[in-house]
Amino acid sequence: MSNIVTTDHWIVHPSGRLFARRWRPDGAEPAGAEPAGAPPLLLLHDSLGCVELWRDFPALLAAATGRCVIAYDRLGFGRSDARVGRPGKDFVAEEATAILPALREQLGIGRFVAVGHSVGGGMAVEIAAHEPADCEALVTMAAQAFVEDRTIAGLRIAQAQFRDPAQVERLARYHGDKAAWTLDAWLGRWLDPAFAAWSLGDALPQVVCPTLAIHGEEDEYGSVAHPKRIAGGVSGPARAEILPGVGHVPHREKPGLVVRLIAEFLADVQ
């Protein structure tokens, strides 16, 4: 893997500070600048995720694509400031309108590629829908497009597992004293009957950029109906890539394959 330079940033927002990290391939433009012709990849994490939990995936992506990769901790997660109260029913769409503008302005992000895992994939869809002129491409990994029975079943199993205090302590390694909040923000919101009607139905037709929807065939939180809904619902060129034997975290279970799929997809977009 080529040398990757990492730079940490703090984003100032009225609701609190957000932590962000940039991975820059050696030879790319200095941190804060956008390499000509190669918009950065913006990573959006899952319901219990954060920058640290991406592990080496951003560096692998940066090396394979020759692009800068940027990830950040949403409010309430990782090193970012705490968030008060459970996220609202529109929290997936709100990331595009309430957070993204400050992030882009302070990190100097012009055009970009939105890449999201799980609920972060839904946020990436909303971002692509809200920024059609600047979002060069969209990649979702294990994203949910609607609330499915299989999603609820997976959440119920997770809810039972997290009754073990040791599981919450593990979350605290990454989220500190915000761990209990992150858990409620995930399970409490998704299992709320008021959230059952949520979907990406309104956002998908507004996505005009090329789209790649990656999904594990064994995903415990959503069937292959989700990537098919995403690929079939966007207005731009799209395809669903179903990975046999893979569960909810494709980029951790098959990192080499996922990186290759994204790199080849972006090479075709250029």
The whole-angstrom separation of Cα 82 and Cα 79 is 9
- Report, as ranges of residue numbers, the positions in the chain whose pLDDT lies below 70: 1-2, 27-37, 270
What is the value of pTM for the model shown? Answer: 0.95
pLDDT of residue 26: 78
Q: Where are the domains of the chain?
A: 4-269
- What pLDDT score does 2 carry? 63
Q: In 131-186, which ranges are continuous DSSP H helix?
A: 149-161, 165-175, 179-183
Supply the pLDDT for residue 37. 54
In CATH terms, 4-269 corresponds, of 1.25.40.10, 3.40.605.10, 3.40.50.1820, 3.50.50.60, to 3.40.50.1820
Q: How far is CA 22 from the centre of its chain?
A: 15
C-alpha to C-alpha distance for 10 and 13, rounded to whole angstroms: 10
- pLDDT at residue 239 in the model: 97
∠ CA(229), CA(233), CA(234), 5° rounding?
130
57-65 and 255-269 helices, crossing angle to 10°: 40
Distance CA 15, CA 140 (A): 27
3 state SS of 29: coil
Please report the pLDDT score of residue 31 as a whole number.
44
Coil, helix or strand at residue 182? helix
CA 29 – CA 35 distance, rounded (Å): 5
